[in-house]
Structure 1
Amino acid sequence: MTTEPMRAVPVPVPDPGPPLDYYLVLPRLDVRDPATTVEGIVVEEFTRHHDLTTTGLDSAGWTPDAGWWSSPALSLGMRTDPEVLARIVPTSRREAEDVYRALGGGQLPDEPLLRTHFLDHQPIATAPPLRLGPAQPPAGFHERRVYRVLFAKDLRAEQVANLRTAWRTPADGTLTSAASGRLDAHGDQLTWDLRRVGHSLAWCLDVTALLRTDATAALGSTLSELTNVLRQHGLIPVTTERFS
């Protein structure tokens, strides 16, 4: 009697989800010292409903003297207080690692460990989707969704020009849109427009998805990528709403 050798059973690896968002905190203007260009680091992560709308925000801050601390008040100020907003710079994890090391923190913890510092979840109010545009999708599509991502801070003219180039915005685009783009994938169509809004919230990104497939996961990835592109240009995401 012979037996077959045992085969290793693959162990599913949990999906870590989108990477965390990183920000640098600059000293106040009245105490800014050329030798100390960064005061600390903030790490954030939005929680989302199954339809991709924002339900809450987790965050943690770090400074050399205090270590890691839960930072919901600072995260709120980053989006509502002009003085705090002026001191916040969106950054990448790689740059955050360099700053953390330069400020004496050593090696920046990996993201699962950073999440253990999220002690005070900040809920963000949600509401059923509003209707923006026609109720029915065009012929050939089974669903039409419209999302709006709100951002704080401002963009310089050259940053808008860079976005227009990267997104291949038509030269004859609408007057209400500063930059726009389009993506066709597997029969689904996504279009987006960047606009100025309000007085306290500087910009919004409206994303319209016409779906032929069950593409919620791909749509979520695209929303995340577009949001991160605008973070890289200096904006701070506030919330993601759904309008249809």
Structure 2
Amino acid sequence: MTTDPVRAVPVLMPDAGPPLDYYLVLPRPDDRSLNTTVEGIVVEEFTRHHDFTTTGLDSAGWTPAVGWWSSAALSRGMRTDPEMLTRVLPTSRREAEDVHRALGGWQLPAEKVLRTHFLDHQPIATAPPLRLGPAQPPDGFHERRVYRILFAKDLRAEQVASLRTAWRTPAGGTAASAATGRLDEYGDQFTWDLRRVGHSLAWCLDVTALLRTDATAALGSTLSELTNVLRRHGLIPVTTERFA
């Protein structure tokens, strides 16, 4: 993969597929010791419609005592249970490999093998796109799409500052927006706006795509990689909805 420093989004090469998402699960605070800093690993993958909206979630967990197992309830708890949210940390495959080996699991299986442990699919309800904003795209573009990606957990002030720097968010902005970014690619325009949702520990990223070309693959890659950037900053993706 290559990385565009302007948007801090890794760009997938044409022959690369979307990687799985990895998480570390910490023990409960009263169960932690110097010898038990990580309880297990969770691996996930969203399923999507052709327009990149979320249709469901597959997951598998691993602990040294049990091995691999699949539970949709675990993935729901990672996003809705306050106690569980404090114990789940997004991570990279490389770090998951190190933890898997340190806990006695030897080499972490390849992703095609990990997918065979996805036995308890969690459907995510979808609806036809809502219409937000003008029905017609601006002159010169053939389509306008608006997506909202929802996330659980919270961001620290320094993490928001890091995103603002990476995305070159202009100084000032609106009180409702924590960070914004923009990408112009082969005539297509992508803009995004990060804000807190409601009064709970939740965030959303609103992404507007103005398409001049037929490069829907670039749209899917941009949505995926923006999601990954926020995941690497500690948020847990919940779903991707379409509003236009």
Q: Does 1:242 pair with 2:237?
A: no
TM-score (norm 2): 0.93
In structure 2, C-alpha distance between the alignment counterparts of 1:129 and 1:43, rounded to whole Å: 29
Change (3 A) 1:149 1:80: same
In structure 2, C-alpha distance between the alignment counterparts of 1:31 and 1:39, rounded to whole Å: 10
TM-score (norm 1): 0.93
1:168–1:181 CA contact under 8 A, matched in 2: yes
Q: Counterparts of 1:1-244 in structure 2 under 5 Å? A: 17-200=17-200, 202-244=202-244
The amino acid of 2:126's aligned partner reads T
Q: What fraction of aligned residue pairs are identical, expressed as a percent? A: 86
1:80–1:200 CA contact under 8 A, matched in 2: no
The amino acid of 2:165's aligned partner reads T
Residue 11 of structure 2: aligned partner: none
Note the alpha carbon deviations across 1:173-221, whole angstroms, 9 max, x for none: 2221100000001111000000000234510000000000112110100
81-90 vs 28-37, which moves further: 28-37
Residue 7 of structure 1: aligned partner: none
In structure 1, C-alpha distance between the alignment counterparts of 2:16 and 2:103, rounded to whole Å: 28
The amino acid of 2:209's aligned partner reads A
Runs of 4+ in structure 1 off by over 3 angstroms are none
Deviation at 1:71, TM superposition (A): 2.2
- Structure 1 or 2, whichever has the larger Rg, is 1
Unmatched tracts of structure 2, length 5 or more: 1-14
121-130 vs 197-206, which moves further: 197-206
Aligned-CA RMSD value: 1.2
1:55–1:126 CA contact under 8 A, matched in 2: yes
* Partner SS state of residue 116, structure 1: helix
Q: What count of residue pairs does the alignment treat as equivalent?
A: 231
Deviation at 1:40, TM superposition (A): 0.1
* Partner SS state of residue 149, structure 2: strand
In structure 1, C-alpha distance between the alignment counterparts of 2:68 and 2:200, rounded to whole Å: 29
Unmatched tracts of structure 1, length 5 or more: 1-14
